[in-house]
Structure 1
Amino acid sequence: LVVEGQVPGGIYTDLERAGVLRSGPLLYRFNDGNYRWIAFNDWNYALDFDVDSNLVNQPGVFLVLHGVDTIAEISLNGLFLGETDNMFVRYRFNVRNLLKVSNQLRVQFRSPVAVSGNRYEQQLMDYIVPPRCVPPEYQGECHANFIRKMQASFSWDWGPAFPSMGLWKAVSLEVYQSITLRDVYVETSLNGSDWQVDLLMHCETVDIGVSHSGTWTIRIFYNEDVLLHELIDDSLVSGDQEREATIEPWMPNGYGHPTLYNLSVSYSENEQVAIAKNLRIGFRTVVLVEDDLQTGGRTFYLQVNDVPIFLKGSNWIPADVLPELVTPEYIRDLLTSCVDANMNSLRVWGGGIYELDEFYQTADELGILVWQDFMFACSMYPTTSWFLESVSIEVVQQVRRLQAHPSVVLWAGNNENEAALRGNWYGTLSDFNLYRQDYIVLYVDTIREIVKREDPSRPFVVSSPSNGKLSEEEGHIARDPYSELYGDVHYYNYYSNGWNSSSFPKPRMSTEYGFQALPSVHSWATVADPSNDDDWSFNGALLSNRQHHPLGNFEMELQVSSRFGLPKTNLSTRRGLEDMIYLTQMHQAQAIKTQTLHYRRHKYQLSENGAGLTMAALYWQLNDIWQAPSWASIEYGGRWKPLHYFAVDFFAPFLCILTELDDGTVAAFVHFDRRQDLVAGTLTVSLRSWDLLDPLASFSSPVNQDMLADEPVWIRSLNELLNETGCTRETCFITSAFFDATTGQESIAPPNYLFLTSFPNVVDVSKVYVTQRSEWTVNITLLATDYVAAFVWIDSGTYYGTFSINGFMFYDRFKTVKFY
């Protein structure tokens, strides 16, 4: 079998493009299993190429493979160059004496499934490094922890197994006379009121041990207008170069402007420019604050340019299981959706990849803080010499590549491996000290030490979740990695009432939490057979195949039953599936809203046991990797789920939080990210009946800029409120609206609502009129009946775009919605 390949690319996409895969597209129906044979085989790539004769005898000629997935032997013109064994490492081979005018490059890939399995068996001769395999519901491959490759490519509880092979990044010939500039270390710091920029150039030379004498020219300027004209433009000598300029610092979204400056670095010898590199940098500092508290525990929050930041956002997984399919446009679309939802942070999860340059460049531009995991997740890992050597190169290269980005604010050694070891997830308790020592060797002695050396400008935590400094004090494996009093937590409870905030913890940071929902009808239609009824059944084989989370469908059914009641339609029919899609998505959105507002409210509150002072709400997860049940707020392809529309409001910089307190009162809190976000005005709280549009009672309270965020603006006994109005928990609910003191109109604070019991029957909107259509927007006016309509969802069908609001409570006479 011989087909044409592409670079960047991979074997799955190459075979699909060549028409070899006859069962349809890679993600269609059951093809994740049908095409698994591809991963079990070895594949060879070959390229014939010519070069200009004057390149052959240059002093430095190097073949550079910027991304090889993963186990391969490289040869040029029949001569062996070397092996690759790490997807995250750039490989560089000196080919000066091998290169000809006409050449053949050959890359021989070995099956990653076979290699990882063999390594696991070899390790067993000493001791087991678990897990033995992923859960059977994952329908994946075993032993991803034995290969430095995207761990999720062997499958996860939200994604398929496509253990690909190929050249997933560019291959190039680098030709130069003396040196090349690979990376630039950039550190900005404040010395009083003065900004200091420290630069360190990482170079590669033609010959080891040969000294070079030349001139470095450094310029920092703003946009195309050189506002800081040649801030530094001298041959570098010992000592500082000082210039006077007004600097605008880089700030995250919602806290200021993410101002970027252009940094140009060039090197010349004999008055000829040998190398040049251009970067965009931001002036910002970052500190992880862990101060002791008298009530017990420590704070845990990030401070950017001396400003404490509440992290609002989500967790990022790979945008595609096959990285070559991800485009810069799609990355920008997803990150722009984050900013549209008032987010300022993303956690790059440790089972995926160190993202493409375009991801970090876009995050820099949009002001999105990046919590960057190293690529280790939910496993124990070997600590053999070959593994540690490969990881060391990986960490050095990735830290140097990403360090100059102001968006990257924290390094984390792994995802959940401290918790896995302490919690005995994989049966390690009987040899706990052995696995703890392996843990320390890999994450503390190797990864942390390299990060401290390569990038002292950022905080590093060994794991997420962890207790921060306390984990280190307790031997790097905390007694309780999920403590509310220290560090960050991951919290999932699918059997609790996700619409009741009393069930949630009060951590210093919540960096994972979530509920599943089904994909939309439109996403599902891209992978299901329209003529196969079983594909359109909630109980069908296709949905079961796509549900990788153990008991996931049962849990969603339980959640819908508890909050809504199950639909009366037959769940084995298409209509039943469509009803469950709507209900699981609305349950997910409301549950994550409730949990997020709980965390935001406890930013300023400290419980008697010392819990609270929460400074992060990063829900799991932002994006999907395929069309399946998942925790995502944005579907594969970019379509917003209801959750993402809800995020626009629950991450608003200024909002009202309604909550029922433990003492039987109902309270309204005004919450803001910054004091300047707080607008003076009037907060109106209304008690409403489900069968009336006009409120039964309304209460107004003034809001001014001196108010304390931890004290309620309005509070009443719920029982008294219900008795006064003749309401019950089942017949009424509570809403809030904020009116600007200057204009008297509803302000930027989104309206909010509080349900008093499990949800009643949803009343449909009776009429929808499109009143205006233009090339870019559609104005839709909704006319209500005499009843309140809850969770109103407007479907754009096959049209791609977003609405100004969606999934909303409809208790007005009419509402205008725009479609962009």
Structure 2
Amino acid sequence: MTMKQVACANNWSLFWMLILSCCCCCCHLMPGDTFRPSAVVSAENVRLDLTTANGYPWRASLPNGSLVFEGHVPGGIYTDLERASILRSGPLLYRFNDGNYRWVAFNDWNYELDFDVDSNLVNQPGVFLVFHGVDTIAQISLNGFFLGETDNMFVRYRFNVRNLLKVEGNQLRVQFRSPVTVSRNRYEQQLMDYIVPPRCVPPEYQGECHANFIRKMQASFSWDWGPAFPSMGLWKAVSLETYQSITLRDVYVETSLDGSDWQVDLRMHCETAYIGATHSGTWRIQIFDNKDVLIHEFINDSLISGDEEREATVRFQLKIGADQVRSSYYYLVFTFYACEIEPWMPNGYGNPTLYNLSVSYSENEQVATTKNIRIGFRTVVLVEDDLQTGGRTFYLQVNDVPIFLKGSNWIPADVLPELVTPEYIRDLLTSCVDANMNSLRVWGGGIYELDEFYQTADELGILVWQDFMFACSMYPTTSWFLESVSIEVLQQVRRLQAHPSVVLWAGNNENEAALRGNWYGTLGDFNLYRQDYIILYVDTIREIVRREDPSRPFVVSSPSNGKLSEEEGHIARDPYSELYGDVHYYNYYANSWNCSSFPKPRMSTEYGFQALPSVYSWATVADPSNDDDWSFNGALLSNRQHHPLGNFEMELQVNSRLGLPKSNLSTGTEKRTGLEDMIYLTQMHQAQAIKTQTLHYRRHKYQLSENGAGLTMAALYWQLNDIWQAPSWASIEYGGRWKPLHYFAVDFFAPFLCILTELDDGTVAAFVHFDRQQDLVAGILTVSIRSWDLLDPLASFSSPVDQDVMAGEPVWIRSLNQLLDETGCTRETLYGDVHLSL
């Protein structure tokens, strides 16, 4: 074993040592050399993508052959039918097409490919057909030989085809079964033992039942903000992979501080050509800074043996000095400079500095496999300390810095994931940074996102709370289900683990609360469903995560009480306790512009209010000549309102805060004007309501109530993005247009802001809030009292603010009754404005 690491700098002995090293070891990169990722891999290791973009002509068809058309990989049946002009009622999301095209999901479909390969590939020791994403239930055959079945959208499938592949005339066939039919059959089979609820989604969802019996995007069967498009297809690439010895699939990276040095623990997850075969080769691990300058190199000779699944894991541990010396040279002129490893920090707390990690494996001095990824040096801890007032803290600490999570919840960017582009992902995530966000929660009813999502989050410094894909249901614990989930969790954890942006795993969305709250009538058999819950999320998922990724925290559910949930048998007596863990809070019947009704939790990871889509968005799906399409009470809007009582709740909130439009919402020619007015009013109400609730949570970061509530460390509103054009909680519409809420978020998520609020004792107080002490600036705080019908303030007050202000303490406070007397206002007409002049 050899290891190259430079530890100190700027002395003549090191100067001459580096000259000699340069002269004698020209074949290796030295610290200071620039990064050149290995782009050429030897013939022993080849990946051939059998995709449409790579020139491979797929066909899609009904099993009886009555309908045959061009298929696309990656892709899906809905988009292929639309592209072939077979769907004749207009675009997929136009008007009522989510129902008109439901017949697609009720049918089985075939995808087929005829292809040739280079003769050099056929006789390689390892020849594998790899399906990176199959949606979902399918049987796969090659040249008439059955390869196997798929039953999980989130699993990569690999088949050994060495003895089946031909140079010419290969026939690949993928036979999909209707996900609606399969899930219904599985549900009915389960009924012979006991019911696994829910029996179906609410009728307002206008969706399909039993998504919990199939491992695909749960929201593809519909949700209260999205349509049902239970698609089928090869939604990720299909590839032919050949190699003589091994291929490197995933790299585990864990960074931790050991004194003043960074320790990097690596696991190379490999796949081998043979079962049990031993390979002897050389690993080269190189780390480059963001200017592509080499800062560390590690070389190791090792033996690799594949197990019965042709898999092997190789582990290494590196030590990198906090002060790492680099050198740059031109001919024999050297320049030395010391550089400190810069930790990866979330947006607003520092730089999300990334380093390039290059890993390669060679045999007989020939590169067999290589992988280049970007990593960040960071640690993450979930802090749950006991408090004397009762309860425990609950917050994330990144590189020893407590982080207040500011952001939102991410749902799939499209109901058909093949339509999502890297550019769209970057646009949505950039919008998060533009709104001063530092966090997103990837919700558990969608998908484990594309690589581009996490790569972009790494670059932008967005922390990712990652749910596993289980939401709002009980789930079966049959052997076939647990086996499929185990493979899913293993593969997804290995795929995503190296991303510094991913800071927490959560086992499910709201299923602990659903079980304790008897959402689906489970109370009569509570112990039975509690046992299933523990088998799935604790004994299966948590154990795999602990084994595969000890580098970051895991919580069993969201919301949960953290450690207390575990202490109470994994189903807390009150999963919505303000004193522990995180909460989801919705209340559409209280005054949403008054913070008195809001909880004071340790973390708020869901909260929100609905609003209508913009006129521009609605115009893309409504018939411009149909007045009913432009009515608030029309059939189209009712069809798109999947939240039970959603329109009533929007009317209630708008009426109580702003008043309903004067134009009639339901009759005559005023219907269109009424809808446009309601669009504006619901969006403005939503923006102000979320602002009020978010500022409430941010203020309580530094405050602790008498009952022990407070010390809030997260405000993640529901939801960031839309999946179609409809009433929803989103701040960004389908396609990327910002709603007023997102513009408001720029201000209410600002790192430094002023908050004016009424306290419980009848006083009005102004607070200066800051994420970091260094954000605080000195200045003059001005509080203005205004009437809704006057431009000039009724009264103004000023108060100096210095940089020693105590967090959580008001910098200005007055009696509300006194303010009312001084201004002649009432509570209904009083409006306060606060700003800080530097």
Q: TM-score interval w.r.t. the shorter chain?
A: 0.7 to 0.9
Q: In the alignment, is the contact (CA less than 8 A) between 2:283 and 2:299 conserved in 1?
A: no
1:48 aligns to what?
114
SS in 2 for 1:216: strand
Q: CA deviation at 1:699?
A: 1.1
Q: In the alignment, is the contact (CA less than 8 A) between 2:703 and 2:710 conserved in 1?
A: yes
Q: CA deviation at 1:364?
A: 0.1
Q: In the alignment, is the contact (CA less than 8 A) between 1:499 and 1:594 conserved in 2?
A: yes
> Is the alpha carbon distance of 1:172 and 1:239 closer, same or farther for their aligned partners in structure 2, counting shifts above 3 Å?
closer
After superposition, the C-alpha distances for 1:253-292 in whole angstroms (9 at most, x for unaligned) are 0000000000000000000000000000000000000000
Q: CA deviation at 1:695?
A: 2.0
1:684 aligns to what?
782
Which structure has the higher relative contact order (CA within 8 Å, separation 6+)?
2
1:144 aligns to what?
211
1:721 aligns to what?
819
Q: In the alignment, is the contact (CA less than 8 A) between 1:131 and 1:426 conserved in 2?
A: yes
Counterparts of 1:590 and 1:549, CA distance in 2: 21
Q: CA deviation at 1:662?
A: 1.4
Residue 433 of structure 2 corresponds to residue 339 of structure 1: yes
Q: In the alignment, is the contact (CA less than 8 A) between 1:50 and 1:103 conserved in 2?
A: yes
> Is the alpha carbon distance of 1:244 and 1:126 closer, same or farther for their aligned partners in structure 2, counting shifts above 3 Å?
closer
Q: CA deviation at 1:54?
A: 1.5
> Is the alpha carbon distance of 1:554 and 1:191 closer, same or farther for their aligned partners in structure 2, counting shifts above 3 Å?
same
Which structure 2 segments of 5+ residues have no match?
Answer: 1-66, 314-340, 667-671
SS in 2 for 1:173: strand
Q: In the alignment, is the contact (CA less than 8 A) between 2:282 and 2:299 conserved in 1?
A: no
2:52 aligns to what?
none
After superposition, the C-alpha distances for 1:539-563 in whole angstroms (9 at most, x for unaligned) are 0000000000000000001111111
Q: In the alignment, is the contact (CA less than 8 A) between 1:248 and 1:283 conserved in 2?
A: yes
Counterparts of 1:687 and 1:391, CA distance in 2: 58
> Is the alpha carbon distance of 1:153 and 1:243 closer, same or farther for their aligned partners in structure 2, counting shifts above 3 Å?
closer
> Is the alpha carbon distance of 1:14 and 1:231 closer, same or farther for their aligned partners in structure 2, counting shifts above 3 Å?
same
Q: CA deviation at 1:718?
A: 1.4
> Is the alpha carbon distance of 1:306 and 1:242 closer, same or farther for their aligned partners in structure 2, counting shifts above 3 Å?
farther
> Is the alpha carbon distance of 1:242 and 1:321 closer, same or farther for their aligned partners in structure 2, counting shifts above 3 Å?
closer
Q: CA deviation at 1:601?
A: 0.4
| Equivalences, count | 735
Q: CA deviation at 1:223?
A: 2.7
After superposition, the C-alpha distances for 1:317-352 in whole angstroms (9 at most, x for unaligned) are 000000000000000000000000000000000000
> Is the alpha carbon distance of 1:437 and 1:50 closer, same or farther for their aligned partners in structure 2, counting shifts above 3 Å?
same
Q: In the alignment, is the contact (CA less than 8 A) between 2:276 and 2:310 conserved in 1?
A: no
Q: In the alignment, is the contact (CA less than 8 A) between 1:510 and 1:617 conserved in 2?
A: yes
> Is the alpha carbon distance of 1:244 and 1:427 closer, same or farther for their aligned partners in structure 2, counting shifts above 3 Å?
closer
Q: CA deviation at 1:141?
A: 0.3
SS in 2 for 1:4: strand
Q: CA deviation at 1:704?
A: 1.3
> Is the alpha carbon distance of 1:557 and 1:66 closer, same or farther for their aligned partners in structure 2, counting shifts above 3 Å?
same
Counterparts of 1:528 and 1:35, CA distance in 2: 17
After superposition, the C-alpha distances for 1:568-587 in whole angstroms (9 at most, x for unaligned) are 10112x00000000000011
Q: CA deviation at 1:698?
A: 1.4
Q: CA deviation at 1:222?
A: 1.2
> Is the alpha carbon distance of 1:154 and 1:708 closer, same or farther for their aligned partners in structure 2, counting shifts above 3 Å?
same
Q: CA deviation at 1:719?
A: 1.4
> Is the alpha carbon distance of 1:237 and 1:294 closer, same or farther for their aligned partners in structure 2, counting shifts above 3 Å?
farther
Q: CA deviation at 1:232?
A: 6.2
Q: CA deviation at 1:34?
A: 0.2
Q: In the alignment, is the contact (CA less than 8 A) between 2:257 and 2:263 conserved in 1?
A: yes
Percent identity for Structure 1 against Structure 2 = 92
> Is the alpha carbon distance of 1:303 and 1:242 closer, same or farther for their aligned partners in structure 2, counting shifts above 3 Å?
farther
Q: 1:638 aligns with which of 733, 736, 739?
A: 736
2:687 aligns to what?
589
Q: In the alignment, is the contact (CA less than 8 A) between 1:217 and 1:235 conserved in 2?
A: no
> Is the alpha carbon distance of 1:218 and 1:235 closer, same or farther for their aligned partners in structure 2, counting shifts above 3 Å?
farther
> Is the alpha carbon distance of 1:198 and 1:206 closer, same or farther for their aligned partners in structure 2, counting shifts above 3 Å?
same
Compare 185-194 and 305-314 and name the one that shifted more.
185-194
SS in 1 for 2:687: helix
Q: In the alignment, is the contact (CA less than 8 A) between 1:367 and 1:407 conserved in 2?
A: yes
> Is the alpha carbon distance of 1:617 and 1:46 closer, same or farther for their aligned partners in structure 2, counting shifts above 3 Å?
same
Q: CA deviation at 1:229?
A: 5.2
Counterparts of 1:692 and 1:551, CA distance in 2: 37
> Is the alpha carbon distance of 1:239 and 1:680 closer, same or farther for their aligned partners in structure 2, counting shifts above 3 Å?
farther
Q: In the alignment, is the contact (CA less than 8 A) between 1:231 and 1:243 conserved in 2?
A: no
Q: In the alignment, is the contact (CA less than 8 A) between 1:668 and 1:715 conserved in 2?
A: yes
> Is the alpha carbon distance of 1:232 and 1:674 closer, same or farther for their aligned partners in structure 2, counting shifts above 3 Å?
farther
Q: CA deviation at 1:242?
A: 34
> Is the alpha carbon distance of 1:244 and 1:165 closer, same or farther for their aligned partners in structure 2, counting shifts above 3 Å?
closer
Which structure 1 segments of 5+ residues have no match?
Answer: 734-817
> Is the alpha carbon distance of 1:239 and 1:330 closer, same or farther for their aligned partners in structure 2, counting shifts above 3 Å?
closer
Q: In the alignment, is the contact (CA less than 8 A) between 2:272 and 2:310 conserved in 1?
A: no
> Is the alpha carbon distance of 1:698 and 1:242 closer, same or farther for their aligned partners in structure 2, counting shifts above 3 Å?
farther
SS in 1 for 2:303: coil
2:231 aligns to what?
164
> Is the alpha carbon distance of 1:236 and 1:64 closer, same or farther for their aligned partners in structure 2, counting shifts above 3 Å?
closer
Q: In the alignment, is the contact (CA less than 8 A) between 2:780 and 2:837 conserved in 1?
A: no
Q: CA deviation at 1:243?
A: 34
After superposition, the C-alpha distances for 1:188-234 in whole angstroms (9 at most, x for unaligned) are 00112211101010000011111111000000001343151536688
Counterparts of 1:398 and 1:414, CA distance in 2: 15
Q: CA deviation at 1:694?
A: 2.5
**TM-score, normalization: structure 1?**
0.88
Counterparts of 2:482 and 2:747, CA distance in 1: 45
Q: CA deviation at 1:721?
A: 1.6
Q: In the alignment, is the contact (CA less than 8 A) between 1:501 and 1:598 conserved in 2?
A: yes
Compare 228-237 and 670-679 and name the one that shifted more.
228-237
Q: In the alignment, is the contact (CA less than 8 A) between 1:11 and 1:165 conserved in 2?
A: yes
**TM-score, normalization: structure 2?**
0.86
SS in 1 for 2:539: helix
Q: In the alignment, is the contact (CA less than 8 A) between 2:704 and 2:711 conserved in 1?
A: yes
Q: In the alignment, is the contact (CA less than 8 A) between 2:699 and 2:769 conserved in 1?
A: yes
After superposition, the C-alpha distances for 1:776-811 in whole angstroms (9 at most, x for unaligned) are xxxxxxxxxxxxxxxxxxxxxxxxxxxxxxxxxxxx
Q: CA deviation at 1:680?
A: 1.0
Q: In the alignment, is the contact (CA less than 8 A) between 2:217 and 2:446 conserved in 1?
A: yes
Residue 420 of structure 2 corresponds to residue 326 of structure 1: yes
After superposition, the C-alpha distances for 1:732-788 in whole angstroms (9 at most, x for unaligned) are 42xxxxxxxxxxxxxxxxxxxxxxxxxxxxxxxxxxxxxxxxxxxxxxxxxxxxxxx
Q: In the alignment, is the contact (CA less than 8 A) between 1:220 and 1:232 conserved in 2?
A: no
Counterparts of 2:488 and 2:85, CA distance in 1: 35
Q: CA deviation at 1:663?
A: 1.4
Compare 118-127 and 721-730 and name the one that shifted more.
721-730
After superposition, the C-alpha distances for 1:629-686 in whole angstroms (9 at most, x for unaligned) are 0000000000000100010000000000000111111100000000001111111111
Counterparts of 1:170 and 1:90, CA distance in 2: 10
Q: 4+ runs of 1 displaced by more than 6 Å?
A: 231-246
Q: 2:77 aligns with which of 1, 11, 35?
A: 11
Counterparts of 2:312 and 2:118, CA distance in 1: 47
> Is the alpha carbon distance of 1:232 and 1:686 closer, same or farther for their aligned partners in structure 2, counting shifts above 3 Å?
farther
Counterparts of 2:291 and 2:279, CA distance in 1: 32
> Is the alpha carbon distance of 1:113 and 1:265 closer, same or farther for their aligned partners in structure 2, counting shifts above 3 Å?
same
> Is the alpha carbon distance of 1:388 and 1:711 closer, same or farther for their aligned partners in structure 2, counting shifts above 3 Å?
same
Compare 427-436 and 188-197 and name the one that shifted more.
188-197
Counterparts of 1:705 and 1:675, CA distance in 2: 8
Aligned-residue CA RMSD in angstroms?
A: 3.7
Compare 128-137 and 692-701 and name the one that shifted more.
692-701
Q: In the alignment, is the contact (CA less than 8 A) between 1:77 and 1:105 conserved in 2?
A: yes
SS in 1 for 2:655: helix
Q: CA deviation at 1:238?
A: 17
2:127 aligns to what?
61
Q: In the alignment, is the contact (CA less than 8 A) between 1:626 and 1:636 conserved in 2?
A: yes
Q: CA deviation at 1:696?
A: 2.4
Compare 233-242 and 214-223 and name the one that shifted more.
233-242
> Is the alpha carbon distance of 1:203 and 1:244 closer, same or farther for their aligned partners in structure 2, counting shifts above 3 Å?
closer
Counterparts of 2:573 and 2:830, CA distance in 1: 45
Q: CA deviation at 1:450?
A: 0.2
Q: In the alignment, is the contact (CA less than 8 A) between 1:697 and 1:725 conserved in 2?
A: yes
Q: CA deviation at 1:565?
A: 1.1
> Is the alpha carbon distance of 1:68 and 1:416 closer, same or farther for their aligned partners in structure 2, counting shifts above 3 Å?
same
Q: In the alignment, is the contact (CA less than 8 A) between 2:382 and 2:394 conserved in 1?
A: yes
SS in 1 for 2:280: coil
2:480 aligns to what?
386
Q: 1:703 aligns with which of 794, 801, 822?
A: 801
Q: In the alignment, is the contact (CA less than 8 A) between 2:306 and 2:312 conserved in 1?
A: no
